[in-house]
Amino acid sequence: MPTCQKQTICYNSDIIHYYYKNKAFTLAEVLITLGIIGIVAALTLPSVITKYQKKQTVAQLKVVYSILNQAVARSIVDNGELEYWDWVNVEAGSPRFTVFAEKYILPYINGVQKNSDYTMLWKRLDGIYDDYGSYKNTRVQYKLANGTLLSFYGIYYPAEDLGNRHKTCLSVFVDLNGYKKPNRAGRDVFLFTLFPYASDAGNNFMAGYYEHCSSGILHYRLTREQLLQDGYCATCNKNYSGMGYGCAALIQKDGWEIKDDYPW
């Protein structure tokens, strides 16, 4: 038999001799190692998945936010300054806010498809089906090219109602992944609102709505602590109470980031 150096392959009478410097692992050692790897993966994988989902949600939210505000900017070129649009026809409780959106916003977004399915689908932050923001027969849905669903809602206060004038608005419910679950405010459903008579809104869709349970303050004007506070209609806290309409405002206020105290 020829002499071979370790870690080389020698040939003799069609028999291959392997020489290894180190001893092979036993079956028990392999199983123990695999078990440890499995435990570590089980502990870390959910965190990794959640982190990815949060980043993906924020990225999609920013895209829709940009699309909406680019549409407003283009509409202003054709239809004049925001405050002079025909806001009386955005009155709540009628399909007029849909007509309003189809005149001033949707023509300035590429690839919009009008849907005809009015299934009640959305849930509030607390998990209850949302009678206010759900898909209803008066809430026509519009599908963007990226799969996002839009559904509009509007409300109008006359000029003489100075106390509520700032709450005149066109709101849009945004479902980032369409009909896919969870269809829940703060997770894949968010709210942006156009306030024509809010001087600090800058002719932009603003994150959130207005606090319609008590103060009437616009969500984007609330502090982070108020947005996280239990009991507000704007609430976006870990107790999952309330509607969760202020969650987009919280994400934006946190520098477009979903932080650890966000109700994920």
Q: How far is CA 1 from CA 5, 13, 15, 144, 204, in A?
A: 13, 10, 11, 75, 85
Higher model confidence: residue 184 or residue 39? 184
Measured distance CA(220)–CA(224) in Å, rounded: 9
pTM above 0.75, yes or no: yes
18: confidence class by pLDDT, cuts 50, 70, 90: very low
- Residue 82 clears pLDDT 60, i.e. is over it: yes
Measured distance CA(247)–CA(235) in Å, rounded: 7
Q: How far apart are the first and last CA of the chain?
A: 69
Quick: pLDDT tens for 107-119. 999 999 998 666 6
Phi–psi pair at 218, nearest 5 degrees:
-70, 140
Helical pair 27-79 and 96-104, crossing angle rounded to 10 deg: 90
Measured distance CA(190)–CA(214) in Å, rounded: 21
3-state SS, residue 44: helix
DSSP 60-112: HHHHHHHHHHHHHHHHHHHH--GGGS-GGGG-TTSTHHHHHHHHHTGGGSTT-
Provide the token pair at 136. Answer: 């209803």
Measured distance CA(233)–CA(225) in Å, rounded: 14
Phi–psi pair at 155, nearest 5 degrees:
-150, 145
Longest CA pairwise span in the chain (Å): 107
Give the per-residue pLDDT at 11: 47
- Residue 74 clears pLDDT 60, i.e. is over it: yes
- Residue 103 clears pLDDT 90, i.e. is over it: yes
Mean pLDDT of 45-70: 94
195 DSSP assignment: -
Quick: pLDDT tens for 183-230. 999 999 999 999 999 989 999 999 999 987 767 899 999 999 999 988
Mean pLDDT of 99-105: 95
- Residue 13 clears pLDDT 70, i.e. is over it: no
Give the per-residue pLDDT at 247: 97
176 DSSP assignment: T
Provide the token pair at 169. Answer: 């608005």
137: confidence class by pLDDT, cuts 50, 70, 90: low
Q: Which helix (H) or strand (E) holds 155?
A: strand 149-155
Quick: pLDDT tens for 143-185. 999 999 999 989 999 999 998 999 999 999 999 999 899 999 9
